[in-house]
Amino acid sequence: MNSEEFFKKIVSHAKEYGFIYPSSDLYDGLAAVYDYGPNGVELKNNIKQYWWRSMTQMHENIVGVDSAIFMHPKIWKASGHVDAFNDPLIDNKDSKKRYRADVLIEDHIAKIEEKINKEITKAKKRFGDSFNEEQFLATSERVKGYKQQMEDIHQRFADLMNANDLAGLKSLIEELGIVCPISGTRNWTDVRQFNLMFSTKMGSVSDDSDIIYLRPETAQGIFVNYLNVQKTNRMKIPFGIAQIGKAFRNEIVARQFIFRMREFEQMEMEFFCRPGTEMEWFNYWKEERMNWHLALGIPKEKYRYHDHEKLAHYANAATDIEFDFPFGFKELEGIHSRTDFDLKRHQEFSGRKIQYFDAELNESYTPYCVETSIGLDRTFLAVFSHAFNEETLQDGSTRIVLNLPKQLAPYKVSVLPLVNKDGLPEMAHGIFNDLKFNMRAHYEEKDTIGKRYRRQDAIGTPYCITVDNDSLKDNSVTIRLRDTMQQERVSVDNIKSYIAAH
Ligand code: ATP
């Protein structure tokens, strides 16, 4: 199965099993907007909770906020979003399709990287056990040539983006011979800037002054609450403020399912520190965030850092944590050292003093800030796509199983009476009612037990508890494990401790 087919399978599985539906499905959907179904919302909430707890509960110096989506329009002037939150777009005149110029170039670079990977695969076959990848990469003339090409394009691309040179970007696209994937032609328009913020009006008078934006990031809701939080919670630097919430971007090219949406959720944390210590904290959070991902049990080969060459106007260091999605390595989380840019700008635009008095140093300053910003929906896609497995069993049949990290699974346990009679549903309900106070439990009595197991596998439930006729006599049940399909007889009194231990 190639990666495109695999991706299609994931998308249809997400719909069929109540994880994600196209938004407004009844009306044939709305581009790049999605709804989460009953199983999806549980998985999403569990991811949120995992992030929230690891940020706030596990760090004594991090607190949370939940700021409004609507904010004063001046905030987006101050943050730079009104003037600079643009993507360079380009149209193909033949297919009439619109692309992001930067993405076309990045995809071109990714294709060269694919060629390197193909060379590695070929060499692995040729050399067998004696293959040394590091040595091969360092000595193969062809690979070295590809690497040089990648670096040259990267550098030129970064220079053009930094200089906001739109004509230069178009020339680079032409020079690299990049064609439209639909029409196959190089008939491109000029590159233009496009602001990604959605706007609407507030109140009943329609003049320019009441234009209001849907926030394109949650971070500004943190910055404008810095003074409130620092004072009300008596926070001492260094400290962090975390927030989870919706963000909106009028993305030019909205493809790839929930990877790039027009309405999505972010989990952001702004960590305020002494000026001059920001690189220390940047490195700290870079490592800490990677550890958070790895703690989910997904192999480390699926993640990599990507340091930025083009820094946003506010940053003095930036890196992405990329994940190996079904369509290749792409950004999952950004870690940015944002200096004192945001607080200084809000000070300037609001006319309010935003300073911290550092008693240890006996001086006041504008704090520096390191941000960690992760997309909730992208994390969902990462976890979901990695968990999706189509297994061939010993008897030749296949099963689809979501090997989700147990703490994230929509349901921890499903309680299943073997048959819908003889007092089994009553006993199973009793077990369900006892478990529901400790964990998200599920109950089902329809269909054969085999079919019910398969359905629980497909939504990633780690434990199935079956109540059969013997259960009535010996007060024990069969617990079946999702990943190994092993079954064990366990006394009803020991169900919770069994689950805790497995
Ligand atoms: P990209 O380059 O992919 O557009 P970005 O660099 O603009 O992303 P940031 O502004 O750093 O993204 O936002 C932080 C995080 O928010 C991203 O790492 C990503 O996980 C998430 N995110 C950003 N845009 C979207 C979107 N349109 N849909 C879903 N998640 C998004």
pLDDT in tens, 292-316: 999 999 999 999 999 987 667 678 8
Task: Report the candidate in 232, 231, 230, 251 with the shortest Cα–Cα distance to residue 241.
Answer: 230
Residue nearest to atom 25 of ligand 1 (CA): 260
* Alpha-carbon distances, residue 269 vs 10, 238, 373 (angstroms): 30, 13, 7
Instruction: Tell me the CA–centroid distance for residue 375 and ligand 1, in Å.
Output: 6
Its sign, for the CA torsion 95, 2, 407, 477, is positive
pLDDT at 207: 60
pLDDT at 211: 86
pLDDT at 158: 87
In the numeric block, which tokens belong to residue 104?
């076309």
Q: Which atom of ligand 1 is nearest to the CA of 379?
A: 20
CA atoms within 13 A on the CB side of 247: 23
Q: To test ligand 1's pocket by mutation, which of 331, 338, 377 has the most ligand atoms within 8 angstroms of CB?
A: 331
Lining residues, ligand 1, CB within 6 Å = 217, 249, 251, 260-261, 264, 266, 331-334, 373-375, 377-378
Residue nearest to atom 14 of ligand 1 (CA): 373
Task: Report the candidate in 367, 318, 371 with the shortest Cα–Cα distance to residue 347.
Answer: 367
191-248 residue pLDDT tens: 999 889 999 988 765 565 678 999 999 999 999 999 999 999 999 999 999 999 999 9
pLDDT at 204: 67
Alpha-carbon distance of 44 to 21, in angstroms, equals 14
Residue nearest to atom 9 of ligand 1 (CA): 334
pLDDT at 310: 65
pTM for the model stands at 0.88
Give yes or no for a contact between 280 and 302, defined as CB atoms under 8 angstroms apart. no
Q: To test ligand 1's pocket by mutation, which of 373, 379, 380, 384 has the most ligand atoms within 8 angstroms of CB?
A: 373
Q: Which atom of ligand 1 is nearest to the CA of 260?
A: 28
Alpha-carbon distance of 463 to 456, in angstroms, equals 9
Q: Note every long-range contact of 298-307, with CB atoms under 8 Å and residues 24 or more positions apart, other chains counting.
A: 298/382, 298/383, 298/386, 298/405, 302/382, 302/386, 303/332, 304/329, 306/331
Residue nearest to atom 24 of ligand 1 (CA): 260
Residue nearest to atom 16 of ligand 1 (CA): 375
Low-confidence ranges of the chain (pLDDT < 50): none
Residue nearest to atom 12 of ligand 1 (CA): 334
Residue nearest to atom 11 of ligand 1 (CA): 334
Instruction: Tell me the CA–centroid distance for residue 217 and ligand 1, in Å.
Output: 9
